[in-house]
C-alpha cells in the first residue's frame, strides 16, 4: 500500500525552516554505533543568547542546538556521548560555548568559529551532573551536584575548586559569576559569593516550601527571582536583608523565569502555557502572552543592539516550538524553530517503509520521511494537555488517543522524571480514532469510553481498551464488541499487548503476574505466569511469550527473562535467560524472525538508559546499545525487518541498523 499524506497542510511560517540537506546532516550528527539517524531534537531545558545576540544556544535532553539569528539555521552540537544539557555559558567574546548537564561529567567547550569541540583539553567534573556554568574572562566557573565550585582556565586547562555545601538545584550564577544561588528540597534559597567564598545566608521563608522550580538573577547581581508550584514569584533583595516581594497573578505553577538585559522586565512561563511580563522595578504585572500549546520550559532575552530581534523574548515550550516575542506589546514576532518535542509515546512504520509516525505526550502525531530523515507532516487533531494513552495500527494508518485536558505535566529540567497536576476542571476526553492518511475521524463505540491503555491487534482490525476495571475489545471495521471482561481485582495495569495471531491478549500489573486471555473463549478465566512481571511480549512466530523480571530489592537475584512456549503454557516450565537488569521503565519485544529478544530500560542510575539483545535459542547476550538519555517508551521494527526504532522520553527517535546491531560481537559498554 502506498501511504499518502495529502491532507496535511504546510504553513510557510518559519524563518527557521532548515534546508533538507542541513536537516539530514543534523539527524546524523553524534550517532551511537549502529544507529542510522536520530529524529527529533529533544525537549528544551535551557536557552541562552550569545553576547551579541547573533546566536541562540538551546540545551535539550540530548545535545546543544545552535541557531543563527535571525535566519534560524540550526547546527546540532553532539559530543561523543549524548547527554542532557542543563547548563550553558558563552564566553565574553562569544567565540566559545560551554555546555554541561545531567549524566555526563564532561564539560564541553565548543569553538563557535567552526562548531567543533575544543580539542586542547577536556574539563571533567567530579560529579556526573553539572548544574551551572559562567565565564569570568578566560576562566570558566562550574558548579556540580556534589557541591564543587570549580574554576577552569580555558587557555591552559588548569583547575582549582572548593567544596561548597549548598544544595544541588535549581542553581544559577549571576552574569559576572560573583553570585551562586541554589535551592534545596525544603524551598530554602542559598546564596554564595564565589569571590570572597562567603556564604551570605539561607533564606528559609515558610511559604517557599512549595517546590521551587526556577531561578534568575538580575544583571546587577542584587535581585533574585524565584518561582514554583504555588504560582507566586518572589523577588529577593540580597543587599537589603534578603527582603522578599511577591508577584501574584499567575494561575499555574511557574516553570521558567528570566530578567531582561537591563533588569527592568521580568518574564515568567507557566504550566498553563502562558507567559507573564512584569515590571520588575515596580512589581506590577504588565501583560499576558499566549500562543504556546504546551508548558513554557525556558525563557531568554536577546541583548539590546542585536539587530532585527534586539531585546526580544525567546520562549521554548513542550509544544516543540521556540517563539520570539516583543515583550513591550506581547506581539509574536516569529515562530523561530520547531522539533523540540518531549516524550515520544509510540511509533510505527508504514507498510511500504517510506515513513515512520510518532505520537508525543500531547497527542500530536509527526510523520517522518525515512528517505530524507525529515518531518514531512503533522497531525494535530488529537492534541490535548496530556495523552494518557496512544496507539497506532501496525501499518501506521490509524491513530487512537485517550486525551485529558486540565491535566498538567511538568518535566524536571535537571535530570528526568515528571510531575502531574489535575485542575478543578479536569476533562476526560472520549477515546478517539483517526485515519491519519486522510485526516478523517473513525467513529465507533470506543467514542463512549475512556481508557488507561490502548492497543491494536497485529492485523489492524481490533482495538483493545483497558479502563474503569474493564477490558474491552472491538472490531474496528464492523464495530462489533468481541470481548468484555471485568478486571476489578487488578490494581494498576502497566502494559497490554496482542499475540501475533490476534487471538490472545496479555497484560500485567506492576510487579505482579502477567495474565493472558483467549479472545475466542470470553467466558473462560485468564491464565497467568508463575513469576511476577516487569515487561512482556509475544513472538511474531506465534510460539513464544516472554516476560521479564528485573532484579532489585524485592527480587535480590539478577533479573531473568522467561520464555514461555505457548503450547505448554502455563504448565510447562519456561526457558530462563539470565538478564543482569536492575532497572525500570522496561520494554520487551521480539525481532521479526523471533530469534532475538530486544529489551529497553534503565540500569540502576536514571541516566543509564540501554537497549540489550539476547539470542532466544542460546540465551547469549548479543549486545548492549546506548544513545538515549531518558527512558525508552516504545520499540518497533520496520516491516522489512531492517530497522529497529526506539522512541524516548528525551523527545527523540533513534533508528538502528538491525543487521549491524544484531551481529554477535564484543558488547558495547
- Domain locations in the chain as residue ranges: 43-163, 342-661
Asked if residue 137 lies in contact with residue 79, where contact means CB atoms within 8 angstroms, the answer is no
- Whether the bond between 497 and the residue before it is cis, its omega within 30 degrees of 0, is no
The Cα 32–Cα 297 span in angstroms is: 27
Asked if residue 236 lies in contact with residue 247, where contact means CB atoms within 8 angstroms, the answer is no
Q: Is the pLDDT of residue 558 over 90?
A: no
Segment 565-581, tens digit of pLDDT = 999 999 899 999 988 78
In this prediction, residue 267 carries a pLDDT of 97
Asked if residue 326 lies in contact with residue 333, where contact means CB atoms within 8 angstroms, the answer is yes
Q: Which residues lie below 8 Å from residue 646, measured CB to CB, with a gap of 6+?
A: 600, 611, 627, 628, 632, 634, 635, 653, 654, 656
Beta carbons within 10 angstroms of residue 117's beta carbon: 15
The reply to whether the predicted model has a pTM over 0.85 is yes
Contacts 24+ apart (CB under 8 A), 310-314: 310/53, 311/260, 311/261, 313/258, 313/260, 313/267, 313/275, 313/277, 314/47, 314/49, 314/56
The Cα 261–Cα 269 span in angstroms is: 17
Asked if residue 220 lies in contact with residue 179, where contact means CB atoms within 8 angstroms, the answer is no
Average pLDDT, the chain: 87
Asked if residue 294 lies in contact with residue 288, where contact means CB atoms within 8 angstroms, the answer is no
392 CB burial (10 A radius; 0-12, 13-18, 19+): buried
Q: Name which CATH class applies to 342-661.
A: mainly beta
Contacts 24+ apart (CB under 8 A), 486-493: 490/515, 493/452, 493/453, 493/466
**Cell numbers representing residue 440 in the block:** 478523517
Asked if residue 454 lies in contact with residue 463, where contact means CB atoms within 8 angstroms, the answer is yes
Asked if residue 312 lies in contact with residue 61, where contact means CB atoms within 8 angstroms, the answer is no
Q: Is the pLDDT of residue 510 over 80?
A: no
Segment 189-216, tens digit of pLDDT = 888 888 888 876 666 554 555 567 889 9
**Cell numbers representing residue 586 in the block:** 522496561
**Cell numbers representing residue 313 in the block:** 523574548
User: Ranked by mean pLDDT, which of 8-22, 37-51, 75-89, 476-490 comes out on top?
Assistant: 37-51
Say which CATH architecture domain 43-163 belongs to: 7 Propeller (2.130)
**Cell numbers representing residue 411 in the block:** 518535566
In this prediction, residue 5 carries a pLDDT of 41
The Cα 468–Cα 227 span in angstroms is: 37
Q: Is the pLDDT of residue 554 over 80?
A: no
Q: Is the pLDDT of residue 73 over 90?
A: yes
Average pLDDT over residues 222-250: 84
The Cα 398–Cα 357 span in angstroms is: 10
Q: Which of 186, 184, 180, 211 is nearest to 198 (CA)?
A: 180
The Cα 302–Cα 324 span in angstroms is: 9
Q: Which residues lie below 8 Å from residue 246, measured CB to CB, with a gap of 6+?
A: 232, 233, 234, 235
In this prediction, residue 154 carries a pLDDT of 80
Name the 3-class secondary structure at 645: strand
Higher pLDDT, 305 or 256: 256
Average pLDDT over residues 628-633: 92
The Cα 336–Cα 56 span in angstroms is: 10
Q: Which of 169-173, 224-228, 483-487, 614-618 has the lowest mean pLDDT?
A: 169-173
* Strand 559-565 with 575-579, pairing: antiparallel
The Cα 299–Cα 255 span in angstroms is: 10
The DSSP 8-state label assigned to residue 10 in this structure reads P
Distance of CA 518 to the CA centre of its chain: 36
Average pLDDT over residues 313-326: 96
The Cα 623–Cα 661 span in angstroms is: 7
Q: Is the pLDDT of residue 631 over 80?
A: yes
Angle at 318 between CA 315 and CA 322, to 5 degrees: 30
The DSSP 8-state label assigned to residue 102 in this structure reads B
N residues, the chain: 669
**Cell numbers representing residue 631 in the block:** 527512558
Beta carbons within 10 angstroms of residue 156's beta carbon: 10
In this prediction, residue 183 carries a pLDDT of 82
In this prediction, residue 415 carries a pLDDT of 62
Higher pLDDT, 494 or 635: 635
**Cell numbers representing residue 258 in the block:** 528570566
Average pLDDT over residues 618-641: 94
In this prediction, residue 240 carries a pLDDT of 72
The Cα 651–Cα 269 span in angstroms is: 20
Q: Where are the alpha helices (DSSP H) in 220-325?
A: none
Name the 3-class secondary structure at 501: coil
158 CB burial (10 A radius; 0-12, 13-18, 19+): exposed
Q: Do domains 43-163 and 342-661 have the same CATH topology?
A: yes
Asked if residue 234 lies in contact with residue 225, where contact means CB atoms within 8 angstroms, the answer is yes
**Cell numbers representing residue 363 in the block:** 497527542
Question: How far, CA to CA in Å, does 434 sit from each of 127, 369, 450, 479?
Answer: 47, 20, 16, 15
**Cell numbers representing residue 165 in the block:** 555545601
Q: Is the pLDDT of residue 314 over 60?
A: yes
Amino acid at each position: 500500500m502506498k501511504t499518502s499524506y495529502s491532507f496535511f497542510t504546510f504553513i510557510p511560517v518559519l524563518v527557521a525552516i532548515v534546508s533538507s540537506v542541513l536537516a539530514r546532516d543534523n539527524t546524523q550528527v553524534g550517532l551511537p554505533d549502529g544507529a542510522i539517524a536520530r529524529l527529533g531534537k529533544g525537549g528544551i531545558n535551557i536557552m541562552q543568547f550569545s553576547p551579541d545576540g547573533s546566536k541562540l544556544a538551546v540545551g535539550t535532553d540530548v545535545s546543544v542546538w545552535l541557531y543563527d539569528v535571525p535566519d534560524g539555521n540550526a547546527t546540532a552540537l553532539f559530543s561523543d556521548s549524548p547527554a542532557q544539557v542543563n547548563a550553558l555559558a558563552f564566553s565574553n567574546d562569544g567565540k566559545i560555548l560551554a555546555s554541561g548537564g545531567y549524566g555526563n561529567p564532561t564539560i564541553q567547550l565548543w569553538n563557535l568559529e567552526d562548531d567543533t569541540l575544543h580539542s586542547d583539553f577536556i574539563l571533567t567534573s567530579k560529579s556526573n551532573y553539572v548544574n551551572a556554568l559562567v565565564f569570568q574572562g578566560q576562566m570558566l566557573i562550574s558548579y556540580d551536584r556534589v557541591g564543587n565550585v570549580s574554576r577552569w582556565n580555558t587557555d591552559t586547562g588548569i583547575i582549582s575548586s572548593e567544596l561548597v555545601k549548598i544544595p544541588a538545584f535549581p542553581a544559577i550564577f549571576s552574569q559576572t559569576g560573583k553570585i551562586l544561588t541554589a535551592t534545596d528540597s525544603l524551598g530554602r534559597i542559598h546564596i554564595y559569593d564565589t569571590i570572597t567564598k562567603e556564604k551570605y545566608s539561607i533564606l528559609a521563608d515558610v511559604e517557599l516550601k512549595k517546590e521551587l522550580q526556577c531561578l534568575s538573577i538580575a544583571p546587577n547581581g542584587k535581585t533574585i527571582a524565584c518561582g514554583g508550584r504555588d504560582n507566586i514569584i518572589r523577588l529577593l533583595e540580597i543587599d537589603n536583608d534578603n527582603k522578599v516581594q511577591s508577584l501574584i497573578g499567575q494561575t499555574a505553577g511557574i516553570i521558567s523565569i528570566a530578567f531582561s538585559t537591563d533588569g527592568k522586565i521580568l518574564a515568567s512561563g507557566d504550566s498553563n502555557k502562558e507567559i507573564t511580563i512584569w515590571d520588575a522595578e515596580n512589581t506590577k504585572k504588565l501583560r499576558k502572552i499566549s500562543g504556546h500549546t504546551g508548558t513554557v520550559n525556558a525563557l531568554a532575552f536577546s541583548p539590546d543592539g542585536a539587530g532585527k530581534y534586539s531585546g526580544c523574548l525567546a520562549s521554548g515550550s513542550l509544544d516543540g516550538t521556540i517563539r520570539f516575542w516583543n515583550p513591550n506589546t506581547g506581539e509574536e514576532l516569529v515562530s523561530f524553530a520547531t522539533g523540540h518535542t518531549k516524550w515520544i509515546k509510540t511509533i510505527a512504520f508504514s507498510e511500504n517503509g517510506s515513513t515512520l509516525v510518532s505520537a508525543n505526550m500531547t497527542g500530536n502525531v509527526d510523520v517522518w520521511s525515512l528517505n530524507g530523515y525529515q518531518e514531512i507532516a503533522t497531525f494535530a487533531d488529537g492534541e490535548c494537555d496530556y495523552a494518557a494513552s496512544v496507539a497506532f495500527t501496525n501499518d501506521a494508518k490509524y491513530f487512537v488517543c485517550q486525551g485529558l485536558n486540565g491535566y498538567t505535566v511538568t518535566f524536571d529540567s535537571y535530570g528526568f522524571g515528571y510531575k502531574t497536576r489535575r485542575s478543578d476542571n479536569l476533562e476526560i476526553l472520549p477515546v478517539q480514532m483517526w485515519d491519519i492518511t486522510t485526516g478523517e475521524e473513525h467513529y465507533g463505540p470506543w467514542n463512549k469510553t475512556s481508557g488507561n491503555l490502548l492497543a491494536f491487534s497485529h492485523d489492524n482490525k481490533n482495538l483493545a481498551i483497558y479502563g474503569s476495571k474493564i477490558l474491552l475489545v472491538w472490531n474496528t471495521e464492523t464495530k462489533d464488541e468481541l470481548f468484555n471482561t471485568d478486571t476489578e481485582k487488578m490494581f494498576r495495569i502497566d502494559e497490554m499487548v496482542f499475540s501475533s495471531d490476534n487471538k490472545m491478549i496479555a497484560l500485567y500489573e506492576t510487579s505482579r503476574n502477567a495474565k493472558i486471555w483467549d479472545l475466542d473463549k470470553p467466558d473462560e478465566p485468564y491464565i497467568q505466569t508463575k513469576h511476577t512481571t516487569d515487561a512482556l511480549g509475544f513472538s511474531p512466530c506465534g510460539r513464544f511469550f516472554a516476560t521479564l523480571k528485573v532484579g532489585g530489592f524485592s527480587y535480590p537475584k539478577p533479573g531473568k527473562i522467561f520464555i514461555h512456549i505457548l503450547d505448554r503454557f502455563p504448565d510447562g516450565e519456561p526457558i530462563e535467560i539470565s538478564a543482569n537488569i536492575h532497572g525500570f521503565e522496561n520494554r520487551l519485544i521480539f525481532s521479526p524472525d523471533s530469534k532475538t529478544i530486544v529489551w529497553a530500560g534503565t540500569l540502576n542510575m536514571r541516566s543509564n538508559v540501554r537497549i540489550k539483545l539476547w539470542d532466544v535459542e542460546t540465551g547469549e547476550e548479543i549486545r548492549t546499545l546506548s544513545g538515549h538519555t531518558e527512558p525508552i517508551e516504545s520499540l518497533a521494527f520496520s516491516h522489512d525487518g531492517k530497522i529497529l526504532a526506539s522512541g524516548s522520553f528525551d523527545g527523540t527517535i533513534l533508528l538502528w541498523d538491525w543487521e549491524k546491531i544484531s551481529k554477535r560481537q564484543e558488547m558495547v559498554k
